[in-house]
Structure formats: structure tokens, C-alpha cells
Amino acid sequence: MKLVIDNLSKTYANGVKALQNVSLEIPTGMFGLLGPNGAGKSTLMRTIATLQDADEGKILLGDINVQTNKHSLRKVLGYLPQQFGLYPKISAEMLLHHFAVLKGIAHAGERKELVGALLQKTNLYDARKRHLGGFSGGMKQRFGIAQALLNSPKLLIVDEPTAGLDPKERNRFHNLLSEIAENIIVVLSTHIVDDVRELCTQMAIINQGQVVLKGNPLKLMEGLQGKVYQKTINPSELKSYITHYNVINDKRFLGKPRIQIISDVPPGDGFLAIDTSLEAVYFSQINHQN
Amino acid sequence: MWFELFKFELKYRINRPETYVFFGFLFLFSMVGVDFIFQGVEIGLMKKNAPLVIAKTMGAITGIFMIMVSMIMGVPVLRDVQYDIEPLVYVNPITKRDYLLGRFLGSFVVLLLIFSGLLWGMMVGSLMPWHQPEQMLPFNAFSYVQSFVVVVLPILFFGASTFFVTGMLSKKLLVVYTQGLVLFVIFLLTKAITHEYLQGLLDPFSLTTLTQVAKDWSVEDSNTLGITLHGILLHNKLLWVALGILILFVGFRQFSFSVPAKKGKKSAVGDTVMVQENSNNDHPIPKVSQQYGYGAQYRQWFELIKFYILSLLKETSFWAIVICGIVIIISNSVNLGTVYGVDSFPTTHFIVAELQEMSLYFFIAILLFYSSELIWKERTIKQYLLNDAMPVTNVMVLTSKFLALHGIYVVLMLTLIVAGILFQVANGYYHFDLKVYFSGFFLEILPFLTLYTCMAFFFQVIAKNKFIGIFLTLIFFIVNVGSEFLGFHHSLYKFGGQPLGTYSEMNGYGHFLAPYLWVKAYWLVFGSIVIVLSALLMNRGAITPLRKRMGTLRHQLIGRKGLFLTFAVVVWFLLGGYIFYNTNILNTYWTSEQEKAFRANYERTLKPLEYLPQPKIIAAKLAIELYPKTRSYDIKGTYQLMNTTDKPITAIHIQKRLASHLDLKEVIFEGGAKADSTHSEFDYIMYHLSTPLPPKASLQMDFKQSFAPQGFEHDPSDTQLVYNGTFFHNTLFPSLGYNKKYELHHPVERLAMGLPQRSNKATIENENELIIARSGSDSNGIMLEVTVGTNKDQTVVAPGILQRQWTEDDRNYFHYKTNHPIINFYSIVSADYEVQSAMWKPADTPSQPVALEIYHHKTHTYNLDRMMESMKASLNYYSKNFSPYQYQQLRIMEVPRYADYAQSLPNTIPFSEALGFVLDIDDTTDVDMAFYITAHEVAHQWFGMQVEAANVQGKNFVLETLAQYGALMVLKAHYPENKIQQFLALQQEIYDTKRKRATHEPSLALVENQDFIYYHKGAISMYRLQELIGEESVNRALQQFITDWRSYTGKLKTQTDRYVTSRELLAYFKKVTPKHQQQLLHELFETNNELDE
């Protein structure tokens, strides 16, 4: 089974082109959708998750046409949105039960067992009687994944799941995800390069509504092998370097700009070749565009 | 700095559409404000733009729109919380004082601008052409401004302060929605206070206060005096303004300029136990099945309903509303069919009616708020992205929410029923009529709520936010209720149809039920269409404009939903067609305009024939077959008609009773006659006699009349023929000549139709009316013989002596016959009765023994002894002091509560089940009203049956006031003096209240239809008179009066064809009054001087 996104476009009423002719083919496994804030990731995710309609193009999961047969897709969908709230005065267990009902798990015994197992899995079992209003960000996120897994989805959409989580929570979350992703399609959108590097076998970079790069992260990195160079410079020189070189990234190192460039030939001029990274791939695409 | 915030607030509001919507709505509403607030209220000669009317309207409209005040004033601080920008705002270098002052004043100014819509709207409205010029004073802008400043401004300030503070401190939107309601609840609570001053002082909208201010105003004063701040109004306004300031001050002290989310979280973080870190890979996720079959869907539905009910029960505000409701119901004085201060037994239908009335407002509040809450909850808490991606259909979600709300209604109703039963138990009453409880709530209230919930859901679905949704629902409510006022009545287009008719313990819901159920079914099918459409239009995921959602309707309609909708629309049309067939084809549907035009036309065409000499009925013989189950009858009748004039009569005019499905046929006159159908459109046929009827001669007229209702009418309010408790008068039969009762009565309607003013009683000099005893009377007394057949389980009571009673063809037959003339006004009743009988034997008077009977509904046995006792006591007193009783029987027959009176007819007294049968009389605290009313009616066997009064001014003084006197004397003979004083004090109170509302007050001698004069003032005046000159003297005068004026045999009556008037009666009183008290006599009866207490 594959998720096929074919030529998807969406323009908002205010003129923002959120998606422009996006085409992707997403196989089983973890797929990373990388892009800066406002790139159109969430629009794409919501569109896949049947919560929004595109102006043009179509999405197919196997033979389910997502746009016209939302209900069928929803049966096999798990969705963890970027931001969401929960009934504050209801316990985790009860709300998860509610979601299980919504997902069509009609048998009460099965439901009970399932809810218990998922609460265990997401480490919320001890907090199951507590009102959701008192949950921390990480607990909420784990609850979110628990509800997404209720129907053993074939397609799992997770939108920026680790934003705002502390490193420990993030690790735990990654473990959970990769465990799930073995036999299903997981689309993970993020602006954190490390997330993709750690988890995904396939990825795409999206910027300003367009897919600018797609492929296997390792292969993509290989493409840049030996072409990335780095130099620490004075702040006043930054402008001239930008005009002369293909600068993909400038960070600070000990208070000074440290720039990375891409060059097919060694640039000299004090630049040192460095190992390529997925981050370099990402920035090469994003900044190239800008 | 505060000024900057102030300006910001103004600018913000100027860009908000609500500001204009509110203003526009208030403006438009206020244009019809007076008509809306005062609809159905008789304001007498007060003009529609009198300052008092303006002030009350303004107060009431402000009250209704308090929710607007709360929506404007509650949000300024809340807004920052809602948009999560409070941390950004609060860290700025502004002081709390500047922040709050800017926000408050800014919003308050906007509030004033919006509410100025009320002022302008009422001004413009008063200039609209739809008013009758004589109902208006010349336009005076000052009265409006004055009322606005005095009445509206203070309460706006109070509302603004309170709502600002509660919104600011609670930071919950729902509080903002609810608090306008809470103030209204306070207003309702003040209604329960019995202390007059306190009630006026505490009424936030000053309605009671204004009533008290104008307590002593004459009509003239009400039209001229402006509303100024003094007396109780000043105290009232000072109190509320002071409270407003106090609340602002407290709010200011309480408000903390820090992000309060912390506070909420603290406790939460406190109990966040760090969860044990252990790998949970050893918990495999069990394999489960997702099911979408019918069984699964049913279970899913059930679970969802349960969940949504629970989520509502978790709302604090829900409990706030419920507790408010309980407080009101407990604190409200329960009115249980009170008759002259005496409560009835807490029978179930009284309790249900009370509970319905008190709880309805809360049901509506719950409907409004929680339909919005249910629809918007997931979106408000931002959980919608999770829910909306679930494999559950919109129809499933919406219907489960819909049913969850119904679950709440049902639980509340059951609670109310339990409360009602507890109330009955507390009062020692144990006949719980569960059927009545259930039908009262689940048949009368629930369908109403269901229908409006459908609409509320629809409006919430199409609205951009819940706030607009609530508003649209409210507007729909008001427009639907108001449309009735504009003449939109028909249940086919008036949403929801009409409420169910009165419940009677004798007749149940009777024939009201079938049309009610058909109409409700029709609208419920419509409601289901609305709900499914709402489900199709429901927003899922990202907000999509309504237009776009409508665009998707077409391809959503294929499949099951489309099939259901088509089916529902077909059923809806079929039901509508069936209703239309019944109301408009089988029956004639009259719009009120058509009816008015018909009546006006009747009067214009036929009025010239009003006093055309016609013969009088001297005998009637009737054979009536009643079919209560179908509410139909067949009558074969014979009249003996005699020419009592001194000229021959050439034509007899017969007026058929105007009603559909009523057939009058085979009208045959002895000697032959030719029918002239010139006026047949009014069912008025003129029969030209082949040979004129000479003076003193008589002829026989035969007729057949039948009535067979078809289907159901739009307005099934005709209650003469019912399943159990048929009660009709001889007005049902053909009458002679012009019939005044078909004229339009209401002065405004008459004016609109271009008809001259109509006095409700002829003057005491009117020669035409002096010779008749009732409007359009066809007789000076008749011999009656009547045979009535009815259902096997029913008994018929008619005037006269029961000759024979038999059963034939499984039907009961009764043959009654009078042995001397009776007045031509009598009734025939038929119901499933039980009878209590007794015998009254006169002690030392020449009267014959009298058989006493009370025909009653089987459970209404509470006061039979009192009534029987009263009949005996009355017969004793009257026959001893006035004259002998003229019949050998006296019967009381209970009739359904549609008629809410008792009435005396020849030897029969129809007595409403609403009046004396279920009164719970406590002899230590109450006056025995069952006893009194019976005595009053028995007195009419003298004043009304023995002596008839001319149909002119003062008629009711002769008949009603004397009956009051008689009853009072019987009461006096049986009960201690303090009961009499208690009774008189109540009469005084009613008199005082009613005379204030009256357009004018004649003296007793010239009284027209003013019941507060002939009943209440009459009782007091007669009591004074007997104190003054002695009971003995009064009775002596009455004795003489009857001897001289009794019909058929009176010394003076036999010498004249005219009837007695108040003038003659007063002459008898004068004769027995000493000289020095003549002036007082004059004051009591011939002036409208106030009665000093």
C-alpha cells in the first residue's frame, strides 16, 4: 500500500498559496516531511487527514480516494495534529474510551482492553483517572498518540509531534513512533532535521508550498558529500561572503558567525571541508529557494 | 494612558459587526416595542406613547436584552484571555487602574450607543402609520429621553458594572452568556416578594416600581406626568446604582494583574506524579475490530449520547442554571387554581401547569446555551482536529448530541415530576396522576423543546460562532412568537404550531389532542429534515464558508441520506396535506381579518333589522340526539311563536347559528311561508308568511338541526360539544331576527372597520331594550319540553322535572318538562356523572319540598357537603326573607373547566370544575368559597329567574349585586363575623386594583359590564346598606320588590311589557331608609365615589 499525492494545490482566501502542485509517493514506513514554519506542511497533513479540501489534485491511499471517500480513509487513519486541546474535566481513560467509540470499536470488552493497553503503552496508565486539564505537554502528546493508534491505523499522520517536548519526552516519543511504523505508513511532519534523521527512511522537503526535494535521507546526504565547507568569519564580512558563495547556513559559534557553503570545488579561502549532514541538505534547499 | 486604552476599545468595537447588529436589532425591536410588551394588556384610556407606557416598555426591553449588555460588557477583559494575549498585555507598563478604566469606559460608551437604538427605535416606532391616532398623544421627544435617562441608564450602569466584573473575574465565556439570564432570574424572584415596597425597591427593571409610582395616578395623570426620580423609583435606582459601584469597587480590588492560567495550573502540576519510567514494550496492543454495521452503530450512538450527557453534567454553569431554577420554583408562591384567595387541592394538573410555567424559561435557557455548547465544544477546546478525523458520520455526531440534550431535558422533567409528587405528599395529597404528569411534560413541553432544539442546532451549524448562533436562534424565537401578532396563525407555516389546549379532569385533552399530534408530527418531520441538513452542513476540520458547504450538499445527497431526506420530505408533505385537508378543506379556515370583515359586514347589512317586530317564543319542544364520541347531534325542534305586538307580522327572520357543519333544514311554519335568501351569506333567512300572523295569535314552527364535525379544525377551541362534559345553551338553536352577539366588540377593531362606537349596555332610557331581559331576547318566558338521548355512560341534565328516563338502543334517554314558564335561557349538559342528592324541606314557608342534586365528576367529592349545605342554607334564607322558591328541584352540574364560571339557569346551576369542586378550604384561614359561590348562584334563582331586569344600564346591579347580597347574608348566618370581614377585605382589594385599570367607572345604578363594580363594589355597598338600615329593612324592600316585579305574576310587572331597572330597585331601598341616611344611600349606589375603608 502506498499513499500517493498527486499534483495537490491549495490557495487560501487571503491569497496565500499553501500548496503548489505537490506530488509525493509515500511507501510503508516512516516518511519525514521537513520544512520551515509556514511551508505548508500542516496544510498538507490536514488535507491528507480529510480535514481540509484541496483546490486541485488528489490523494490516494491504496484505492481510497481521500477527497471523495473521506469516511473510508478515516477508518484506517490515525492523526495527531500539531496543536490540540482535550476536554479538561474528563479523565484520560474516559476520553480515550470516547475516541474508541468514535473510531467504531463497538464491543465494550474489546474497547476496555484496548484502552488499557494503549494507556500502558503511552505510559499514562497510572494517570488514567486524572482529568486531562492537569496533563503536561508531554502527557498530552502521548495521549494524542494513544488516540491515533486506537484503530491500528494503516496511515498515521503526526504533525510536529515533538515541538515543545523536553529531550527525554522526545526520545520516548521517537521510540514509540518507530515501534509502530514497521508495517504502516507514517507521515511525520517536522521542522526539526534531527527528527527525520533519527526516524525516517524516506523524506521530502517542502518549502513555500512546493516539494523541493525528496528521497532517502542517506542518499540525499550522499549527494552533497564533499561539497560542504565551513568557516568562522567576522560579523562584518558576512554580507560579502553571501554574495560570493552559496551560503546555506549561518550559525553563531562562540559569538561569531560560522557559515557553511556548498561548492563543487574546494573554495580555499580558509574554508574547511566538513562531513555532510541532513541539516546541510535541508538548508541547501531552503536557503537556496529564499 | 487610560485614554489610549479607551480609544483602543472604541476603535475595536467600531470595527466589530456585532456592534451594528445589536444596535440594528434593538432599533427594529423597539419600533414595535410598545405593541410587543403591551400586547394583550388592556391599557384602557392610557395612550400608547404615554410616559408611563414608554418607561415600562423601556424597562422591559432592557430586561429582555440584558443578555446583550452581558455580551458587550463581559468580554473586554475576557477577550485578552480568549486570544491568549493576556501575558503580552499584562507585562506592559500600564497600571491596573488605567487598564480597567479604559476597557470599562470604552465598552460602556459603546453599550450606551447600542442602547440608544432603544431610544431612537421607540421614537421612530411611535411615528409609524400603523397606530390609531386616538391611541396616541402628540409626539414628545422629551418623554422618551426622560424615561431613558431615569429608567434605562441606571440599570445599564448596574448591568455594565456587574457583567464587566464577573466576566473579568471568572474569565469564562459561558458565564458571560449566562449572567444576563441570572439578572432576569433575580427579576423573577422579586415577583415572588409579597411586601409591596420591597418588591418595588428590588425590581431591577423597575416594572413593579413604576406600577407603584403610578398607583394613585388617574388616566389623565398617566398620560401627562413624566417619569421623574423620586419616591420609590429614586430609592430603587439609587440601590441598583450603588450596588453597581460597590461591585465595580470589589471587582477592582479582586482583579489581579497577573496571568491567571498559572493559578489553574498550580494545582494540576501539584498532582502531576512523575510516571514511572519503564519501557512498556511488553504491553502488546490487542487486536480489535472496527465495526460499522447497524448494531455497532446503535451501540456507538448510545455510548456517544452517554458521553455528551456526561460532558454537559460536568459544566458548572449547567448546575448554576439548575440551582437557579430550583431556587425560583421553591421561592415562588404556588398558585393552585386560586379562587378568591382559596387554593385548590394540589391535584396533578394544577401542579403540572405551575411547574410548566416556572420551568419553561429554564428549559429555553438550557436549550439555547447547551445546543451551542454541544456543537462548539470540541472547537472551543481545540479538540476538533482529533474528533473530525474519526471515522464517524456527521449524522451520528449531531444526532447523538441532539439526543444527549434531550437526555438532559428528560432527566430534568423527571426531577420536576418527582418534585411535584413530593409537593403533593407534603400537602397530604396522595392522588398522583402520573399520566397527567407525563403528558404535561412529555406531550406538551418536550415536542416544543425538540423543535426549537432542531432549529438551534441548525443555526449553530450555519453560524460562524456560537455567539451568532445563539443570537440567530433568539431572533428566530422572537420572530416566530411575534409573527402571531402580525396575523400569521396557521400551523402549517407557523413553526411548531399551537400549544395543546386546556386539560380538564372531566374531559382530558378531549378533541384538542388529535390536531395537536398531527401538527406536532408534521413539524417533527420538518425538524428531522433540519437536523439531517444541519449534519450535512456541519463544519468538519478547517472552517469552510457556509456557501462552500452548501455547494457540497448536492453530492452528499446521494445514498442513504438522500433517500432519508426524500422520504422525510414526502412524509412532511403528506402530513401537511392531511392537515391542510382537515383545516382548510373539510373545515373553513378563517384568518382573523376575514372573520372581522365578516362580522363587520353582518352588522352593516343586518343592523337595520335589529328591532324589527318579531313574534316571541312561548314554548319549545326539542328532541335531541347527542353523540358525544363524535361531538355531533341531531335536533328536531318545535317552537310556538306568538305575536305580542299590536300589528300583524308578515315575515319571520331566522338566524341559523353561524358555524360550519351545522345544518338547519326543514324549517316549516304553520300555514306556510316563502323563504327569502337575500341574506343567506349570513345564514339569515327571511320567511314571508303566507298569511300574516295577527296580534295575540300564535303559530308553530318546526325545524331540524344537525351538527357533524368533519376532521379537525385549525382552532379546535369550540368546547360546547366534547367527549365528556357537553355543555351548551339554547343559543345553539335557531334564533329570531338580528343577533347582536355576532358584532365586533373591540373598539379598535370596530374603528378599523369603520363601524361606529358600540356601548356595551343600552342607556337606562332605551325603549327598545327596556322591554327585553337579554340581548336579542326572543321570548318573555317559555314552556320547555326536551328529550335528550346520549351515550350509555352519560347523564343529561336539562331544566324542568324529569318525566322519564330510559335506555334504548344502548343509549340513555331523558325527558324533562317544565310545569310553569321559565326564562328562555337554559343549558343542556351531558357527562359521565355521579350524583349526590338530598331533600330540602322548608320549615315554615309555603314552599314545596325541593330535591337537591349535585352531578359531579367522580373524583371531585371534596366540597359536595359544603355545596349541599349551602344550597339548603340558601333556600332557607331566601325563601324565608325574599319569596318562596319556585321549583321542586335544584341541580348543580359540574362542567369542564373550559367554562370557568358558575351560572344560574332555571332550577339548574352549571358549575365549572375549575371553581368550587376542588378547592382545599381550611376553615381556620379561608373563606368557604364553595359555600359562597353556591349561595350566590342559588340567589340568582330569585334575582334572574324570578325577577328579570331590563337589558340596560344597571341590569347587573339588580341581578348580580343582589345575588352578592343574598350570598353574603347566607354566609353571615353560617360563619363568624371575621370571615365576612375577610371576604369583604378581598372584595375591596380586587375593586381597588381593577378600577385603576378601568377606562371609566359608572355608579352601581348605571353599571354596564364592569364586574368590579357589580360584584366587588356591589358586595361592599350592600353590606354597608344593611349595616346602615338593618338587614331586616333591606329584606323587606327586596320582598316588596319581588312581589311587584316578578315575571308573569308580579303586581307591577303584569301591567307593563317592560322589565325592571335599577331605578325601581333603588326606590324600594329609599322607602326603607330613614331620611338622614338618604344621602349615604345615594352615595353608595348613585355615585362613583370611592368607598372609604
Read off the pLDDT of residues A164-201 as tens digits, 9 standing for 90 and up: 778 888 888 888 888 888 889 999 998 888 888 888 88
Report the run of H or E that residue B622 belongs to, with start and end.
strand B616-627
Q: Are strands A77-80 and A247-253 parallel, antiparallel or unpaired?
A: unpaired
Write out the three cell numbers for B586.
373539510
The set of cell numbers assigned to B549 is: 458547504
Assess if residue B190 is contained within a domain: yes
A133·B383 Cβ contact <8 A: no
The count of structural domains within chain B is 3
Asked if residue B250 and residue B356 are part of one domain, the reply reads no
Predicted local confidence at residue A289, as pLDDT: 46
- Could you give the CA distance from residue B300 to residue B282 in angstroms, rounded to a whole number? 30
How far apart CA B759 and CA B777 sit, in angstroms, is: 18
- Would you say residue B912 lies in a domain? no
The pLDDT tens digits of the residues spanning A8-38 come to 999 988 888 889 999 999 999 899 998 888 8
Across residues B751-759, what is the average pLDDT?
Answer: 83
Arithmetic mean of pLDDT over chain B = 85
Nearest chain B residue to A75 by CA distance is: B391
What is the average pLDDT across A103-124? Answer: 89
Higher pLDDT, B321 or A157: A157
- CB pair distance less than 8 Å for A127 and B544: no
* Secondary structure of B432-475 as H, E, C letters: CCHHHHHHHHHHHHHHHHHHHHHHHHHHHHHCCCHHHHHHHHHH
Residue A222 contacts B, CB cutoff 8 Å: no
Residues of A in contact with B281 (CB under 8 A): 179
> Residue range B71-82: average pLDDT?
79
- One DSSP character per residue, B206-245 reads -HHHHHHHTTT--HHHHHH----S-HHHHHHHHHHHHHHH
Q: Output the CA–CA distances (angstroms, integers) from residue A287 to A43, A215, A272, B587, in the order listed.
A: 21, 19, 20, 82
Note the pLDDT of residue B40.
57
Contact B299 A77 (CB under 8 A): no
Q: Are B360 and B230 in the same domain?
A: no
**Residue-range domains of chain A with CATH:** 3-215 (3.40.50.300), 222-289 (no CATH)
Co-location of B301 and B236 in the same domain: no
Give the closest-approach CA distance of A223 to chain B in angstroms. 37
Q: Where would I find the H helices in A225-265?
A: 238-244
Across B643-772, the runs of DSSP E, i.e. the strands, are 649-655, 662-669, 673-679, 684-693, 698-707, 726-729, 735-736
- Residue B521 counted as domain residue: yes
Between CA B877 and CA B559 the distance in angstroms is 82
Q: pLDDT tens digits, residue range A137-162?
A: 888 888 998 999 898 899 999 988 88
A66, A71, A98: which to substitute to probe chain B, counting the most B Cβ within 10 Å? Answer: A98
Beta-carbon contacts of residue B867 (< 8 Å; ≥ 6 apart)? B854, B892, B916, B930, B931, B934
CA proximity to B71, closest of B212, B173, B218: B173
Q: Which residues of B touch A123 (CB under 8 A)?
A: 275-278, 280
| Residue A40 contacts residue A208 (beta carbons within 8 Å) | yes
Task: Indicate whether B960 and B1039 sit together in one domain.
Answer: yes
At B255 the pLDDT is 81
The kind and range of the H/E element at A4 are strand A3-11
Q: Select the residue of A81, A101, A123 nearest B275 (Cβ to Cβ).
A: A123
| Band of residue B45 on the pLDDT scale cut at 50, 70, 90 | low
Query: Cβ contacts (< 8 Å) between B304 and chain A: which residues?
Result: 98, 101-102
Q: What percent of chain A has pLDDT over 90?
A: 25
Question: Which of B272, B300, B544 faces A134 most closely, judged by CB atoms?
Answer: B272
What is the mean predicted confidence (pLDDT) over B729-745?
89
Q: For residue range B544-600, what is the model confidence (pLDDT) as tens digits?
A: 888 888 887 777 777 788 888 999 999 999 999 999 999 888 888 888 788 889 999
Q: Which residue of B has its CA nearest to A145?
A: B386
Q: What is the mean pLDDT of residues A122-149?
A: 89
The C-alpha atoms of residue B1021 and residue B1016 are separated, in whole angstroms, by 9
Range of the structural domain that residue B227 is part of: 2-259
One domain, residues B80 and B156? yes
Residue B282 has a pLDDT of 60
What residues of B are in contact with residue A51 (Cβ under 8 Å)?
A: 385, 388-389, 540-542
Residue of A nearest to B544 (CA): A52
Query: What is the rounded distance in angstroms from the CA atom of residue B793 to the CA atom of residue B834?
Result: 11
Burial tier of B525 (Cβ tally within 10 Å: 0-12, 13-18, 19+): buried
Q: For the ranges A1-10, A35-44, B818-827, B993-1002, which has the lowest average pLDDT?
A: B993-1002
Q: Which of A104, A136, A144 sits opposite B292 (nearest CB)?
A: A104
Q: For residues A102 and B307, what is the distance between their CA atoms, to the nearest angstrom? A: 11
- Using one digit for the tens of pLDDT, what is the confidence trace for B211-269? 887 777 776 777 777 778 778 888 888 998 999 999 989 888 888 766 544 444 333 44
- Residue B1019 in domain: yes
State the amino acid at position B811 in one-letter form: R
pLDDT band of residue B1020 (cuts 50, 70, 90) is very high
Regarding whether B246 and B392 lie in a shared domain, the answer is no
Q: Using a pLDDT cut of 70, give the percent of chain A over it.
A: 99
Q: How far apart are CA B161 and CA B244, in angstroms?
A: 5
Which of the four pLDDT bands, split at 50, 70 and 90, describes residue B194? low
| Nearest partner of A246 among A209, A280, A212, judged by Cα | A280
Per-residue confidence (pLDDT) for residue B263, from 0 to 100: 40
**Model confidence at B632: pLDDT above 90:** yes
Please return the burial class of B214, using the count of CB atoms within 10 Å of its CB with bins 0-12, 13-18 and 19+.
Answer: buried
CA-based nearest residue to B536, from B553, B512, B524: B553
Q: What element of type H or E holds A248?
A: strand A247-253
Task: Please name the residue of chain A whose CA is at the shortest distance from the CA of residue B314.
Answer: A89
Task: Report yes or no: A46 at the B interface, CB cutoff 8 Å.
Answer: yes
**φ/ψ of residue A207, rounded to 5:** -145, 135
Q: What is the CATH number of the domain that holds B1077?
A: 1.10.390.10
DSSP β-bridge partners for residue B912: B895
pLDDT of B325 above 80:
no
- Give the pLDDT confidence score for residue B333 in this predicted structure: 59
Regarding whether B341 and B243 lie in a shared domain, the answer is: no
Residue whose C-alpha cell is 330510559? B806
pLDDT of residue A176: 82
Residues of chain B found within 8 Å of residue A88, distances taken between Cβ atoms: 381
At residue B445, does pLDDT exceed 70?
yes
Residues A127, B311: C-beta atoms closer than 8 Å: no
Q: Is residue B422 part of a domain?
A: yes
Average pLDDT over residues B425-441: 89
Tens-place pLDDT, residues B557-572: 777 888 889 999 999 9
The predicted-structure confidence for B328-340, as pLDDT tens digits, reads as follows 666 665 667 677 7
Predicted pLDDT of residue B355: 86
Closest by CA position to A204, among listed A212, A10, A289, A286: A212
Same domain for B344 and B248:
no
Same domain, B337 and B255: no
What's the 3-state SS for A140-198? Answer: HHHHHHHHHHCCCCCEEEEECCCCCCCHHHHHHHHHHHHHHCCCCEEEEEECCHHHHHH
Q: Which residues contact A86 (CB under 8 A, 6 or more apart)?
A: A95, A132, A133, A135, A140, A143, B381, B383, B386
Residue B878 lies in a domain: no
B83-87, B310-314, B975-979: least confidently modelled range: B83-87
Residue B136 maps to a domain: yes
Angle between helices A217-224 and A278-289 (to 10 degrees): 70
**What confidence tier does B812 reach under pLDDT thresholds 50, 70, 90?**
very high
How far apart CA B674 and CA B668 sit, in angstroms, is 10
Same domain, B83 and B184: yes
Give the model's pLDDT for residue B873.
Answer: 92
Higher pLDDT, residue B337 or B387: B387
How many alpha carbons fall within 13 Å on the CB side of residue B799? 30
Does B153 reside within a domain? yes
Q: Are B596 and B744 in contact (CB under 8 A)?
A: yes
Task: Please give the pLDDT value at position B50.
Answer: 84
Interface of A with B in 54-73 (CB under 8 A): 71
At B560, the amino acid letter reads R
CA distance B570 to A67: 32
pLDDT at B1041: 92
CB pairs under 8 A between A and B: 158
Axis-axis angle for helices B1031-1045, B1018-1029 (nearest 10): 110
In chain A, residues with a C-beta closer than 8 Å to the C-beta of B314 are: 89-90
Q: Which of the four pLDDT bands, split at 50, 70 and 90, describes residue B189?
A: low
- In this structure, are B244 and B311 located in the same domain? no
Q: What is the mean pLDDT of residues B823-844?
A: 90
ipTM: 0.89
Q: In sequence order, what are the residues at sequence separation of 6 or more whose Cβ sits closer than 8 angstroms to the Cβ of residue B855? A: B795, B797, B829, B831, B833, B834, B835, B891, B892, B893, B894
* Chain B partners within 8 Å of A86 (Cβ): 381, 383, 386
Give chain A positions within 8 Å (CB) of B271: 130, 134
Are B373 and B505 in the same domain?
A: yes
Give the three-class secondary structure for B1060: strand
Q: Amino acid identity of B639?
A: Y
Compute the C-alpha angle B819/B825/B827, nearest 5°: 85
Q: Which three cell numbers stand for residue A135?
A: 496533563
Cβ distance of A103 and B392 shorter than 8 Å: yes
Last residue of a domain, one of B552, B586, B620: B586
Cα–Cα distance between B507 and A244 in angstroms, integer? 101
Where do the H-state alpha helices sit in B463-609?
466-485, 513-537, 546-556, 560-580, 592-606
DSSP code of residue A257: E
Is A149's Cβ below 8 Å from some Cβ in B?
yes
Residue where one domain finishes, among candidates B586, B601, B628: B586
User: Among the three residues B540, B571, B586, which one is the final residue of a domain in this structure?
Assistant: B586
pLDDT per residue over B952-974, tens digit each? 998 999 999 999 999 999 999 99
DSSP letter at B946 equals: T
Mutate one of B82, B280, B381, B399 to test the A interface: name it (highest A CB count within 10 A): B280
3-class state of residue B159 by DSSP:
helix
Query: Cβ of B382 and A83 within 8 Å?
Result: yes
At residue B891, the 3 state secondary structure works out as: strand
The stretch B400-416 carries a mean pLDDT of 93
Residue B499: partners with Cβ closer than 8 Å, 6 or more residues away: B444, B448
